Structure 1
């Protein structure tokens, strides 16, 4: 509080002892009574002002009660000017001699204003509320009336007024007590308003924290649900991929095996008719060839269906060994060799290499007219090389031309095997080549990086590495 106040009252103003004349004892008794009254007043003031944390309503009531008790007042008025200390509530309060509270607004604990309120009290209340405080910038203490301004930061923001009965005469001691009470009341009101505001903000912060905690809990639950949904989605995608693969194999069976079997049956049916022996022999040979083709295609489809990419039942060399020994024609001799230290590759990479080898061997058996083939799996520092070479009559240049034509537009479904092998290698950042094999036929070579395709550029085979 920066308001300018007169200096503290001296001992004479509080006790009335001014000399050592014969009247000293009566004056001493009066001084003792006044001092005792002052002590009681200060005690009441201190007990009133410590109620800051209980809210402004109880604080204003406690201040008014302290003033009424000290002055034995018939009426006590505490009021703040409109616009001053806007956070403070209530804005005014009136107490009668019995402690009954009256207020026109802002306090539920006060009784409704009624009749018998003195006009002096009401007029003073209206004047304070309207800010008519110029005539009361300094304390005014009369015989039975006191008016002390409430100051804050050098400005008058309200006042405390009291009216006493005829037997209670006010003096300088009462003036000093009222000044102390008013000077502390403004600060206490402001502190109380700030405390209540901080409590409100604290409550809001606690509610916000509780709401944030609730949202965090809900978010955690949603995250768990999301993870479960992702797992379900992954399972659904795997099932979809499996279904797609089965549908692909079913189409292959329909477009190849079924047609071959039906064609063979038609040739046999023709042989039952009366036809020359030479033509009959040719047709039976053709039916035999078609039946063999259907069996080999069926074996390849069954093998693909029984060995999904994520089975994990065997290593890649083991699977390739089984492919070379179990699922190929008996008149095709296949040799398989592994070079370098075996390393575990991602399931997708091993699956693609296995499919490339299977497609290459199928082409060798069905179209290459080969008697032997060599399958080579080489684990190198940066990549893995897979090659399938045969001694058949295939032409690498013709196969490369067919591959280009199939990539541009495969209208009749032929040569999709070559495109599929190249696509599988490219999906893993690798390269696919068709070369002339050292043993005379065609060599299918796929080179796939052992690490991410963006990190290591895949190496290509040199001419000296051909089989």
Structure 2
């Protein structure tokens, strides 16, 4: 057989079997249609960036053109590709329809099948053709069509529709990811801008806070200076002032006696010597107060009963007899607390000497489970009601230093969280009673 005869047998040209050539022609047409379909598929699927709807419309038109369909349906199964929009779309007469109420009955039957997963593609009762759409080997919908009359749908056409459907599923998913990424990027930019704005706001607030803190520090420094000034004034009043006033009173008495005839100069000299001792004592106490102002926090606290015992013997050079009694188990107290209680007791004894004719004074210190009771009583002629009125008056107005001792005693007591009361003593004079709760509460704490 010649070469020409071989070519004729293969192509069907001039062959004795008349069926070979028409089959060849149909195969060539299918091949040409397949190539054209692939070209349309590629043009449709590159529209991923335009959004899901544009992609679906391009797929529907490419598939309908390939099978020359009277109508073509693209549908996503219920529950699959949840972000895909539209869920189904019908192309009929060149018009895209999304309302299923306008679908032809046969298209509506295919829609119900495509929306249910899984479904059987080979239903002989169906009219038209239908191919599944899969993603990761899972059915996610499909394409159904009714070809034009006389249109012969071969396996290659179904293969083209399957490729188009599967690639459409991938493209839909990618389109969703692209748009989700863009939205996420927009949210990220918005969050970044909000974070920058918040950072600017925080910086402004931090600057305001620093300015407020500087002002607060200045106020606290001024307050600390005022508190220290008041504390120094109280210390000087409760210590040095007592001796200075005693010396001044004694000097006034001596001046009055000098004007009287027959004055006993020896007795007068003794009184002036006492005044001199008081002034020397005042200087010593002033130095001690200055030293205490510089070293009060560093010095160890002493024993309050011992300090009261010493106070009763060296308070003033008078004939006042002072007794100290301690009851209960002594409780260690901070140095500031012992110092305040000691100053209160000293001020009370000083008032007893200066303002009454008392001969005896009693200091009683009671340590109890929940409080400390300190009482200073005398047998003088003082009036408790008058002292209470003076104390109220000193609290209501500034008396230019008058009755400052009473106000200082109450202020020190309140700093310790306690109360100060003034009563009539059992031995006839004044009773000052301090009750300090335990555990001790101080301003420093």
Q: TM-score range by the shorter chain?
A: 0.5 to 0.7
Alignment counterpart, residue 324 of structure 1, candidates 307, 311, 333: 311
1:304-319 matched pairs, under 5 angstroms: 304=289, 306-307=291-292, 311=297, 313-315=299-301, 317-318=303-304
1:14-25 matched pairs, under 5 angstroms: 22-25=21-24
Deviation at 1:403, TM superposition (A): 1.0
Deviation at 1:434, TM superposition (A): 3.4
* Aligned residues of 1:434 and 1:444 also touching (Cα < 8 A): yes
2:205 is the counterpart of 1:206: no
Alignment counterpart, residue 378 of structure 1, candidates 366, 370, 378: 366
Deviation string 1:403-448 (CA, Å, 9 cap, x unpaired) is 133135466865443344345435524242334256x765432112
Deviation string 1:225-279 (CA, Å, 9 cap, x unpaired) is 7677656654542322111233456678998766776776778789999x74426
Alignment counterpart, residue 446 of structure 1, candidates 417, 434, 439: 434
Alignment counterpart, residue 403 of structure 1, candidates 367, 387, 404: 387
CA distance, structure 1, for counterparts of residue 243 and residue 317 of structure 2: 19
CA distance, structure 1, for counterparts of residue 101 and residue 333 of structure 2: 85
Cα RMSD after superposing both structures: 5.6
Which residue is 1:118 aligned to? Answer: none
Deviation at 1:27, TM superposition (A): 1.6
Q: Counterpart of 1:23 in 2: which secondary structure?
A: helix
Distance 1:257 1:306, change over 3 A: same
* Aligned residues of 1:267 and 1:283 also touching (Cα < 8 A): no
Which residue is 1:26 aligned to? Answer: 25
Q: Counterpart of 2:405 in 1: which secondary structure?
A: helix
1:13-92 matched pairs, under 5 angstroms: 22-49=21-48, 51=49
Deviation at 1:355, TM superposition (A): 2.7
Distance 1:285 1:415, change over 3 A: farther
CA distance, structure 2, for counterparts of residue 379 and residue 45 of structure 1: 98
Which residue is 1:164 aligned to? Answer: none
Q: Quick check: 402-411 or 344-353, which moved more?
A: 344-353
* Aligned residues of 1:256 and 1:294 also touching (Cα < 8 A): no
Which residue is 1:96 aligned to? Answer: none
* Aligned residues of 2:240 and 2:285 also touching (Cα < 8 A): no
2:425 is the counterpart of 1:436: yes
Q: Quick check: 423-432 or 288-297, which moved more?
A: 288-297
Deviation at 1:214, TM superposition (A): 5.9
* Aligned residues of 2:238 and 2:343 also touching (Cα < 8 A): no
CA distance, structure 2, for counterparts of residue 139 and residue 194 of structure 1: 34
Equivalent pairs counted in the alignment come to 332
CA distance, structure 2, for counterparts of residue 25 and residue 358 of structure 1: 132
1:413-428 matched pairs, under 5 angstroms: 415-426=403-414, 428=417
Which residue is 2:124 aligned to? Answer: none
Distance 1:349 1:248, change over 3 A: closer
1:128-167 matched pairs, under 5 angstroms: 138=92, 140=94, 149=96
CA distance, structure 1, for counterparts of residue 191 and residue 272 of structure 2: 87
Distance 1:335 1:272, change over 3 A: closer
Deviation at 1:400, TM superposition (A): 0.4
Distance 1:316 1:40, change over 3 A: farther
CA distance, structure 2, for counterparts of residue 446 and residue 384 of structure 1: 8
* Aligned residues of 1:328 and 1:365 also touching (Cα < 8 A): no
Distance 1:33 1:238, change over 3 A: same
CA distance, structure 2, for counterparts of residue 354 and residue 231 of structure 1: 33
Q: Counterpart of 2:185 in 1: which secondary structure?
A: helix
Q: Counterpart of 1:384 in 2: which secondary structure?
A: strand
CA distance, structure 2, for counterparts of residue 153 and residue 191 of structure 1: 27
Deviation string 1:193-234 (CA, Å, 9 cap, x unpaired) is 665344322321233234445655776787677677656654
